[in-house]
Structures are given as C-alpha cells and as structure tokens.
Amino acid sequence: MRSTFMGLETNKRGLFTQQTALYTTGHNISNANTLGYSRQRVNMQATPGFPTAGLNQPTYPGHLGTGVEAGSIQRIRDQFIDRQYRQETNKLGYWDSAAKSIAQMEDIMAEPSEFGINQSFTDFWKAMEDVIDNPKDSAARQVLISKGKSIADSFNYMDRQLKQIQGNIGNEISVSTDKVNSILKQIAAINKQIQEVEPSGYVPNDLYDARDSLVDELNEYIPVSISLQKTGGLAKDVAEGSMTITYVPGDGSTPIKLVDGKEYAALATMDTNNQRVDGEVDEQATGGFYNFSEIKISAIGEPPGDPATGPYTIDYSQMDQGKGSLRALIDAYGHSGGQGTYPEMLANLDKLANEFITKFNDVHKAGFGLDNSTGLDFFSGTTARDFKVVITDPKQVAVSDTTGEEGNNQNMRKLAELQTQAQANLKQGTFQSYYKSLVGDLAVKGQEAERSAFNSATLHLQISSNRDSVSSVSLDEEMTNMITFQQAYNANARMITVVDETLDKIINGMGRVGL
C-alpha cells in the first residue's frame, strides 16, 4: 500500500530537481563570458518506481512513478575537439613566435631603404668613384674615410642590435620556461583538489574547466599529451579524474611525465655551457650567447627537485618541429652549433664583414698614398662587431699604384672594381648581392612564418568555433531552458496544491455527513 503523503514527496523531489536545473541555468548565464567555461547540464533521472522489488512487495497493478532526481551535473565538452584545439595551439604558438622574431630582425635590417647596409656599400663605392675623379682632392678622400666609417658603423650597429634581440629572446625562453613550470604546478594543484572531491561523489565541473584552460595555455609553449585517471571511491561515471601530462619526445624515446596526480616536474632550458638560458651576455668579448643545448626535466614530486640536475633531458632533435612557442624561440635564439635565425644571420654578417675587410685591405696595401705611404690597412677587424676604419689621414688613402704620382688613380679603380667582383667565399656573389641574398632569405622565411601564423590562426578559430558550438553558453538556449524549468517548477507546486486539497478533503471533509 502506498503512503498517504507519497504525492507530496514526489512533487517535492520535482520542485528540488527543477530548482537545481534553474540554478544551473543561472550559473551558465552568469558564466556566459568566462574564458574556458563549459555549459553545464543537470542529468535528470526518474527515481525508482513503486513498489520496489522485494520479498514482501505489495501487489500492485503497475509500477507507480515516484518522481525525478538530479542524477549528476555534467559539463558539456568534446575531448576530441580539445585535442584538435591543442594541436592547432601548438602550431599557432610556434608560428606566432617565429613571425615575431623574424619581424624584429627585419626592423633592424631596414631594407629596402636609404640607410641600410646596402646603401652604405653603395655610398662607399660612390665616394671611391669621386676619389677616382679627383685623386688628390683631400676633401674627396676625407669623404671616402667617412663613408668607410659608416659601413663599419652599419655592421657594428647591426651586430649589436641583433645580439640585443637575441638576448631578449633568451630572456623570453627563460620566462616561458618559468611559465610552463608554473602551469604544471597549478595543474597538479587542481588535480589534488579533484582527487579530494571526486571520491565523495561530486563532479567538480568548474575545476575541470580551469584545468583544461591551463592545458590549453601549456600547449602554446610546448606540445604535451594528456590522459585521465579515474578516481576511486564513490566517484561518479561522469567524473573525469586526475590528469596525467607527459612530454612525448619527437624521436620516439620514452615519454617523460610532467604531471601525475598532485606531483609535478620542473623544466630548465640549458645552454651549451650547462647554464640556464637567461638572455645575459655569455661571451663578454663578442657580446654573444651560448646556444641552447637541451631542456632538463626533474623527476616528478611535490615539490619537484632542481631541474638543472635532471634526470631527464630533451635535446633539440627530440623536440617536435613547428610546435610550441618555446621551440620557435629556440629556433631563433640558436641551437646545435650555431644554427638558428639569429646566430646564422650574425655569422653571415661576420663572414661578409671579414671578406670585405680582407679583400679591401689586400688591394689597399698594394697602393700608395699622397705621402707615399704604402702597405697600410684601410679597415681593421675580422667580424661585424670589431669592423673599424684605421686610416685617419686622407693622405694615406692608397689611391695611386705608383709612388709619387698624385693624379694616379689606378689603385682606387681596383678597389672600386671589388664592388662588382664575384667573391668565391660569398657564394660567387658580390658583397652587395650576398647581402641582398641574406635579406631575401630572411624575407622568404618571414613571409612563410607570417602566412603560417595567419593560417594557423584561421584554423584555430575554426576549431575554437567548433568547441564553442559544443561548450559555450547560448543565452537563447538558457532562456528557453529557464522558461521550461520555471514552468515545471510551477507545475510541481500546483501538484502539491492538488495533493494538499485531496488531503484536506480526507482530513477535514470526511465523516462530517450532514454538517
């Protein structure tokens, strides 16, 4: 026999459940603009019917429903889209960062322009031609020396500026590594909270969202793979459990755990001198930096040990190409014995400077100045950094190829011809065409990075849109739900009134015949 008050109980459950749904709708609306928030849904389920199975169950002409309960509150999210999103985040992080570091280099090279190295070469050549026209004019000679200085200055300036930016990139590597470490720590902390809550049967949707946002952010820096471990106890089916994050080296060697439960690892980016890459000048004489050699990773722990002592390492070849901004920064900063955008450009400028200095001096030494001086160097130095003009007296510029002939310009003509001569050490190009090819290469790289960044951003937006399609809050939908739940709540309340009236009839109206 059913209870007298069963109707009240059924509808009370209805009231509570609709209220839960209504509040969840409110939560969704409140978080409509929260980054990384996934809309939540109350999974309603009917409560077991009456009577329940049992030995002394009453005979009953059917299974009478007993109402509804909120089985769980679940966030709506698609793990596959998350995966795609993070893969695209890797690429976007890489190309964005690569495009930025190349753009900075382009800003310094400032080509085509009326003041770059290209122009200073041309200006120097023009000054030489003026000296050829007026070999004994000391003003023309003085101009030549000044233009020589301006070539040297251009090289010096470029060397310093490029190294300064290389230093900034080194600093960014260090900051990025710190950021990765901080994210790993935060994920482990969220894991810990989740592990504490889930066994009691709760589903901490908002913690999952926070954790997923952190994983998204982590993927901007380095590509990681994730897996979920179910928590024990009374954990619900929809509970996601603790997240394990591993770094999978590109060469197929053993994956390295970065986060496991509440324990996490720390990373350190090391240079060839086994010091952390920090953007501080390593070689004072040249203002240069040691290349990146490897990322060192500590064993997981809470807190982890000093990453600088290992035990795990990932060298450049083990990193995934084109994934994550850390890799892009390392590609720009330099790795594996002087490879990388900045060290290569610096080395090429050094090569150009050295070749120019040597070739120019060789010819200059053979000539004679107005004061019959001979065998003098015009330039000194072997690199872009120590490129200098050593001639100070205009008389000592070796214009003539014979002593004592003031009007003789033969040696200067040979010097001017250097400008158009192919240099065996510079890929058979002239000084200027070699420089032109450097700028051309850089431009092509920059264009590729720029385009790839744009394409990645487009794809990223597409996937982000797919993810929003699944997870983001639609106000129209929530409003519709709100009305649905509100009306359901009202209807339940009405049912309670009906039951109340029937009870009133039984209690106050029965047995009072004739009254």
Chain residues in the site for another protein (CB under 8 A): 32-33, 102-103, 106-107, 109, 111-112, 114, 118-119, 122-123, 125-126, 129-130, 132-137, 400, 402, 404-410, 413, 416, 420, 432, 436-437, 439-440, 442-447, 449-450, 457, 461, 464-465, 468-470, 472-477, 479-480, 483
Tokens representing residue 351 in the block: 């090569």
Residue 326 · residue 176 · CB < 8 Å: yes
Minimum distance from residue 222 beta carbon to another protein (Å) = 25
Q: Which of 314, 281, 288, 310 is nearest to 298 (CA)?
A: 310
Minimum distance from residue 460 beta carbon to another protein (Å) = 10
| 259: three-class secondary structure by DSSP | strand
Minimum distance from residue 116 beta carbon to another protein (Å) = 8
Residue 265 · residue 307 · CB < 8 Å: yes
| 223: three-class secondary structure by DSSP | coil
Q: Which of 85, 94, 45, 33 is nearest to 221 (CA)?
A: 94
- How would you class 441 by CB atoms within 10 Å of its CB: exposed for 0-12, middle for 13-18, buried for 19 or more? middle
Minimum distance from residue 207 beta carbon to another protein (Å) = 21
First to last CA, the chain: 31
- How would you class 90 by CB atoms within 10 Å of its CB: exposed for 0-12, middle for 13-18, buried for 19 or more? buried
User: What CA–CA distance (Å, rounded) separates 46 from 67?
Assistant: 6
Q: Which of residues 253 and 465 has its CB atom nearest to another protein in the complex?
A: 465
Instruction: Tell whether the torsion through CA atoms of 280, 284, 285 and 291 is positive or negative.
Output: negative
Tokens representing residue 97 in the block: 């960062």
Q: Which of residues 461 and 506 has its CB atom nearest to another protein in the complex?
A: 461
Minimum distance from residue 179 beta carbon to another protein (Å) = 24
DSSP code of 110? -
Q: Which of residues 131 and 300 has its CB atom nearest to another protein in the complex?
A: 131
Q: Which of residues 8 and 482 has its CB atom nearest to another protein in the complex?
A: 482
Q: Which of 196, 275, 277 is nearest to 239 (CA)?
A: 196
Q: Which of residues 258 and 397 has its CB atom nearest to another protein in the complex?
A: 397
Identity of the residue numbered 74: Q
Under 8 Å CB-to-CB from 514, ≥6 apart: which residues?
Answer: none
Q: Which of residues 174 and 456 has its CB atom nearest to another protein in the complex?
A: 456
Tokens representing residue 366 in the block: 């053979």
Q: Which of residues 13 and 147 has its CB atom nearest to another protein in the complex?
A: 147
Q: Which of 319, 320, 269, 308 is nearest to 291 (CA)?
A: 269
Minimum distance from residue 133 beta carbon to another protein (Å) = 4
Helix/strand/coil percentages in the chain, nearest 5:
55, 15, 30
Minimum distance from residue 343 beta carbon to another protein (Å) = 20
Q: Which of residues 74 and 176 has its CB atom nearest to another protein in the complex?
A: 74
Minimum distance from residue 100 beta carbon to another protein (Å) = 12
Minimum distance from residue 393 beta carbon to another protein (Å) = 17
Q: Which of residues 69 and 106 has its CB atom nearest to another protein in the complex?
A: 106
Q: Which of residues 104 and 176 has its CB atom nearest to another protein in the complex?
A: 104
The residues pairing with 335 across neighbouring beta strands, listed in sequence order, are 292, 339
| Residue whose structure tokens are 């809550």 | 197
User: What CA–CA distance (Å, rounded) separates 411 from 365?
Assistant: 10
| 240: three-class secondary structure by DSSP | coil
The residues pairing with 270 across neighbouring beta strands, listed in sequence order, are 276, 294
Minimum distance from residue 297 beta carbon to another protein (Å) = 35
User: Crossing angle, helix 410-418 and helix 117-133, to 10 degrees?
Assistant: 160
Query: What's the distance, CA 113 to chain centroid?
Result: 32
Q: How many residues does the chain have?
A: 515
Minimum distance from residue 355 beta carbon to another protein (Å) = 18
Q: Which of residues 186 and 400 has its CB atom nearest to another protein in the complex?
A: 400
Q: Which of residues 64 and 479 has its CB atom nearest to another protein in the complex?
A: 479
Minimum distance from residue 95 beta carbon to another protein (Å) = 13
